[in-house]
Amino acid sequence: MIFWLGHGRTAHSESDGRPDVPQLSVARRYARFVRGLTFGGVPAPVVAKATSLALDTLGSCLASSKEEFGRAVVEAAERLGGPQESTLIGTKAKTGAASAVLANATLAHGLDFDGATQRLFCACDAGVLVTLDRRSGKVLDEQPLSGMPDVVFFGDMVPKERVLAAMSALEESAAMLVVGSSLTVFSGYRFCLRAKQLCRPIAAINLGRTRADEFFEIKVKRSCGETLTGLAERLSNSTRGVPA
């Protein structure tokens, strides 16, 4: 994520003298919590709820595996191959863990049921979202699935007009801030190259290395969420005249 900073005076942060040691990411904190968790430490209501959800997910996978789209997903996972270490739910086949995660997660969401309205939603291969009545099986509605989302997925092309607008914003800005990006992909890295050409200072908040480390005037190796929250609080206090 990249931000353009407007013209005018900007706030500067001075080092507090502590070693520049990255804080643990949220994912690592969760991993440590799970690693130290024992079954006896889980409350009984949580166990009961988790069991119910696991059975519900398994049932959705089994039902989806019998549908046409489900069979196609399983066949695709089998073609992807890999070591026979993980089971494709609803079959006796095994494949690589990554392929099984892709297939089983798709099966789990293949049939989305709304218990309140007794309706079942199924996205079909023909690009149609079909709404069925759970009790009668009658088709209640059909809506085509078309159009592109308003986001650019990893590997897709960024629309030219969006790139031009971002470049224009950069040229009118006093500085650039990179948040939580390795800048490995050129679609982000090119803005750093342009900022360097324009002699704009660049700062970054990122735990790991980036492709543009040599360009940064300041790099904060801390959690993006915690850093931005703290920065927002300090800026809010400064506008109210409260000492930071």
Q: What is the pLDDT along the chain (244 residues), one digit of tens a residue?
A: 666 666 544 444 444 444 444 566 777 888 888 888 888 888 999 999 999 989 988 988 898 888 777 888 888 888 887 788 899 999 888 888 888 888 888 888 777 655 555 566 555 544 566 676 656 667 777 777 666 556 676 666 788 888 999 999 999 999 999 999 989 888 889 999 999 999 999 999 998 889 999 999 999 999 888 899 988 888 888 776 666 5
Interstrand relation of 139-144 and 128-133 (parallel, antiparallel or unpaired): antiparallel
Give the number of other Cβ atoms within 10 Å of residue 219's Cβ: 18
Q: Which residues pair with 142 in a beta bridge?
A: 130
Backbone angles phi, psi at 20, to 5 degrees: -80, 75
Angle at 32 between CA 29 and CA 37, to 5 degrees: 125
Q: Which residues pair with 129 in a beta bridge?
A: 123, 143
Map out the domains of the chain with their CATH numbers.
43-109 (no CATH), 111-147 (no CATH), 152-239 (3.40.50.1220)
Task: Write out pLDDT tens, residues 143-196.
Answer: 776 665 566 766 667 888 889 999 999 999 999 999 999 898 888 899 999 999
- Cα–Cα dist 43/37, whole Å: 12
Q: Which of 130, 134, 141, 132 is nearest to 118 (CA)?
A: 134
Q: What is the pTM of this model?
A: 0.43
Cβ proximity of 231 and 244 under 8 Å = no
- Cα–Cα dist 8/2, whole Å: 19
Q: Classify 76 in phi/psi space as left (phi over 0), alpha (psi -120 to 50) or beta.
A: alpha
* Cα-based distances in Å from 56 to 190, 224, 244: 46, 35, 50
